[in-house]
Structure 1
């Protein structure tokens, strides 16, 4: 079996589309969040490795699961996260749920409908928000709004990267029902630009994604920690902006991701608004 460190893509938290443990968070909270990120980053790199056979991917992810439970031969990132969770008395279910999503990525590369995609998000995205809330000691009554926001972020990422995921991994997150309803073909994802039918398919997924963002619109206001609330407000604002871009930009031929200055401008406005409302 390959060493898990050799499978790392080199991607870091600053390369993500949304803030990860930004300086807004208190230092004592950033450390456990970063431990979770490093764990998730490695699992993602394993599941998305372009040449590793599925059976070895599953074996590597199995090592990570064992490491969470304290196995000495588990991956270093998993063992480290396991220690952090034990020290801070954090529920390990979130890390285990996340591994379930990456294991699914090794064997499932198509989704039938929107409900199937959201079920995937239940494991690939929602545990991340729940873990961060637990780190901050937030009330678990905030979970539904967090789940909606995290699912929206996941779908947005899938739509932005739909061409790359298909070309490099033969993985398609746009549901089969959406292809059928719009007349688009999966093979259209391999083109240099989206066909009109594929554009229709992508745009048709924006309203249900925006509905998830509507469900989480008041999320930041329910968070007790004002610094976490500001970061959540930033993430929500960036997601709303990206939904608008997906309606007007072709992710196969145009840039959808924010440039650093664009993200910074949106973040400043969202954070200031959150902190002002909290002060008022």
Structure 2
């Protein structure tokens, strides 16, 4: 395979577990975010390709990075994001950090403990949130709460897909020390139903994801852009709901996902919460301006 385009899976932002640049965002800001997503999707497809040898995957990821920075030949998977970054005066930093996450996927398939997993999330998830905030001109003061939410989303995805990650890619993102503490083993991930030790480990990790969601509660009130705050409100509520479901349910025997109706209901409740948070912010700001 000569380029990243040869590895594309055909997945789009509509196939993700959480909203990506939904209609809640303005058209002006959706463009750069979708360009970022498509770049990330191309890199992810390279890292997850079933037959490419690791050395070739790493070379293709390097090619994507060089195309994005202008240090190598143009690539159709990188050019839209390169154009968007130049047009909006945005940093390439977040996209390059994301490439490091996919390089890690090629080189590493086990994580020793929670801290090591969060280290992966710092590359694979947190840069996504930071890029979205940058596109909307939000302050870096929003980054800590955004980082917590993005890490929660990543852990939730790992829990939802733990069986497929193991069967199809040989990867286990679940921290090894948590599995060992519950008496769970890798082969349990290949079973049609989670054995009690694995179910206990998954429940513990879901509780940790819930804690991360809780740490991100302050994000929506910090956001100045109304439409972005509503999008984040929906995502936050979806994450809170799914983390709670994963504490109780078994992702090996039943997909822990929301259907269209549930997605709309839970996400819509988050949008309403975002509206209320913005209303409270506006009232507080006006009260502060009174003589």
Do residues 187 (structure 1) and 187 (structure 2) align?
Answer: yes
Query: Following TM superposition, by how much is the alpha carbon of 1:68 offset from its aligned partner in structure 2, in angstroms?
Result: 1.0
Q: Secondary structure at the match of 1:25?
A: coil
User: How far apart, CA to CA, are the structure 2 residues paired with 1:109 and 1:273?
Assistant: 38
Query: Following TM superposition, by how much is the alpha carbon of 1:71 offset from its aligned partner in structure 2, in angstroms?
Result: 4.1
CA offsets, 1:207-236, max 9 Å, x none?
221111111012111000011001001001
Native 8 Å contact 2:17 2:257 kept in 1: yes
Instruction: Report the equivalent of 2:124.
Output: 124
Instruction: Report the equivalent of 1:156.
Output: 156
User: How far apart, CA to CA, are the structure 1 residues paired with 2:214 and 2:144?
Assistant: 12
Do residues 217 (structure 1) and 217 (structure 2) align?
Answer: yes
Which protein has the larger Cα radius of gyration, Structure 1 or Structure 2?
A: 2
Do residues 22 (structure 1) and 22 (structure 2) align?
Answer: yes
Q: How does 1:221-240 map to 2 (within 5 A)?
A: 221-240=221-240
Instruction: Report the equivalent of 2:175.
Output: 175
Native 8 Å contact 2:220 2:277 kept in 1: no
Instruction: Report the equivalent of 2:241.
Output: 241
CA offsets, 1:11-55, max 9 Å, x none?
111110111001111111000000000001111111111111111
| TM score, norm. by length of structure 2 | 0.94
User: How far apart, CA to CA, are the structure 1 residues paired with 2:72 and 2:214?
Assistant: 44
After TM superposition, the structure 1 stretch with the greater mean CA deviation from structure 2, 142-151 or 79-88, is: 79-88
Q: Secondary structure at the match of 2:77?
A: helix
User: How far apart, CA to CA, are the structure 2 residues paired with 1:214 and 1:270?
Assistant: 14
CA offsets, 1:140-165, max 9 Å, x none?
00000000000000000001000000
User: How far apart, CA to CA, are the structure 1 residues paired with 2:44 and 2:157?
Assistant: 14
Instruction: Report the equivalent of 1:51.
Output: 51
For the aligned residue pairs, the C-alpha RMSD in angstroms reads 1.1
Q: How does 1:128-147 map to 2 (within 5 A)?
A: 128-147=128-147
Q: How does 1:257-276 map to 2 (within 5 A)?
A: 257-276=257-276
Do residues 115 (structure 1) and 124 (structure 2) align?
Answer: no
After TM superposition, the structure 1 stretch with the greater mean CA deviation from structure 2, 29-38 or 46-55, is: 46-55
CA offsets, 1:82-126, max 9 Å, x none?
121111110110000000000000010000000000000000000
Structure 1: give runs of 5+ residues left out of the alignment.
none
After TM superposition, the structure 1 stretch with the greater mean CA deviation from structure 2, 267-276 or 186-195, is: 267-276
Native 8 Å contact 1:126 1:151 kept in 2: yes
Native 8 Å contact 1:70 1:79 kept in 2: no
Instruction: Report the equivalent of 2:101.
Output: 101
| Runs of 4+ in structure 1 over 3 Å off | none
Residue correspondences, number: 280
Query: Following TM superposition, by how much is the alpha carbon of 1:77 offset from its aligned partner in structure 2, in angstroms?
Result: 1.8
User: How far apart, CA to CA, are the structure 2 residues paired with 1:189 and 1:240?
Assistant: 24
CA offsets, 1:187-207, max 9 Å, x none?
110111111111011001122
Instruction: Report the equivalent of 2:284.
Output: none
Instruction: Report the equivalent of 2:79.
Output: 79
